[in-house]
Chain A
Amino acid sequence: MIDIENLGEMELDILKELGNIGAGHAATSLSTLLDKDVYISVPEVRVGEIKNIFNEFIPEIVAGVIIALQDLEENRSGYLYIMFPEESSKTIASSLFGLDELDEEMYESTIMEVGNILSSSFCDASADFMDIILLPSPPSFALDVPTAVVDSVVSQMAMKSNHIILFETSLSAGSDIKSYFALLPEAGLFEDIMKMTELL
């Protein structure tokens, strides 16, 4: 069992690089999908107490998808939460369809598919980097403030630990499209990171 609270600089750096590579590839996918330039922010890794998680997320309503990550033996590696502020998600959905108005079901399903594409490229790239396998689950969609959405995921992690690691980065395409990525790794992923540091 790894003590999340006392992770070293090296482990956090690997985690940051892992997320960075994943987000980079997701950005390429988003760029291809929208046919626009996509910019990526410098990622941040934070180790925090679960009780303070409310302060970590933007307070507005976002359209988001949660994807569970696991390895081949179905051990849970963590969760990926991809968020689009409401306006951005509408812009993405309508620009993909070339329509101004979409009915709710089409819109939700589009965002889920976008989440699916982004998470797949995220997983492929970061798993390749670490030489592990990360299989994304089908996306679960929710339209609400991020804290209300992640708390069911957080509750899963809270059974084992009072701390949580949050990797965050944002992608933007022009002024009208923004997207935030949060990666919440679980113990399985840390074991892989530890194995990697031993090899260095």
Chain B
Amino acid sequence: MNSKILFTSNEKGKAIFLTERNVLVKSYCSISNKCSFQDGCQSCDMANTAKKYLADTTPNSGIIALEGELSAGIGEYKIGKNILLKAMGLGSCVGVILYDISTGICGIAHVLLPGTSQNGETKYAEIAIEQMFEEMIKKGARRRKIAAKFAGGAQVFKHMNLEILKIGNRNAISVEETLIKKNIPIRAKDVGGEAGRNVMFNPADGSMIVKYTKGETLWL
């Protein structure tokens, strides 16, 4: 395989590296704010560990390789195991992650609308969460072990002249209410604000990576 996704961590931080043909092409790093290379991943302890792993694929304790990535489009959800989950370009939408760390089964939903609908469409918060939850259990996840993280629901318009565009907040509230109703514990959330987000989930350590479109990266 030409592209690998690697996760590594040390006492200073954690990082996901996307690689192509054994070259690091992109990173999502928990210390990128303090790093002079930003996301360029020229050289640091973690980048070096990853490069060493790519150079000779001998087992390396510091590296966990993920089996690719899955991206949920608007109003969809995706389920996988040991796979990097993504929901990209979230404005008023909310990225909801459900995961069971004991079995490694996890899923991400890209929620577009609050509430529920009659015909079971997964663009609605309640339906997306319920369907994803049940499908994860079918695939082997344990009901009591599933926890949730979510991010999104921003209000990207600064000068708001249209009432109908204020949907971000309603989405975030609807997601939270659904999770509480279903007794799914919420481990982390990052909602509201004015900037768009890309939300990812790293199953290797169970953290949600929130990459703001304007630069900042959070590991939650």
**24 A-B Cβ contacts within 8 A?**
A50-B73, A50-B74, A51-B73, A51-B76, A54-B73, A54-B89, A137-B162, A140-B165, A141-B157, A142-B157, A145-B89, A145-B213, A148-B196, A149-B156, A151-B91, A151-B92, A151-B93, A152-B166, A154-B74, A155-B171, A158-B74, A158-B112, A162-B75, A162-B121
B156 touching A142, Cβ below 8 Å: yes
B89 touching A140, Cβ below 8 Å: no
| Chain A residues positioned under 8 Å from B159 (CB to CB) | 108, 112, 139-141
Determine whether B164 belongs to the interface, using a CB cutoff of 8 Å to chain A: yes
| Chain B residues positioned under 8 Å from A52 (CB to CB) | 73
Chain A interfacial residues counted at CB < 8 A: 35
Q: Which residue of B lies closest to A51 (CB)?
A: B73
Determine whether B160 belongs to the interface, using a CB cutoff of 8 Å to chain A: yes
Residue of B110, B158, B164 touching A141 (CB-CB under 8 A): B158
Say what secondary structure dominates the interface of chain A.
helix
Q: Can you list, as one digit per residue, whether each of B103-127 has a CB less than 8 Å from chain A (1) or not (0)?
A: 0000000101100000001010000
Residue of B75, B162, B197 touching A140 (CB-CB under 8 A): B162
Determine whether A147 belongs to the interface, using a CB cutoff of 8 Å to chain B: yes
Say what secondary structure dominates the interface of chain B.
loop
Whether A148 touches B213, Cβ cut-off 8 Å, given contacts A50-B75, A155-B92, A155-B112, is: yes
Most A Cβ at <10 Å: residue of B76, B110, B157: B157
Q: How far is the CB of B187 from chain A (nearest CB, A)?
A: 24
List which A71-126 residues lie within 8 A (CB) of chain B.
108, 112
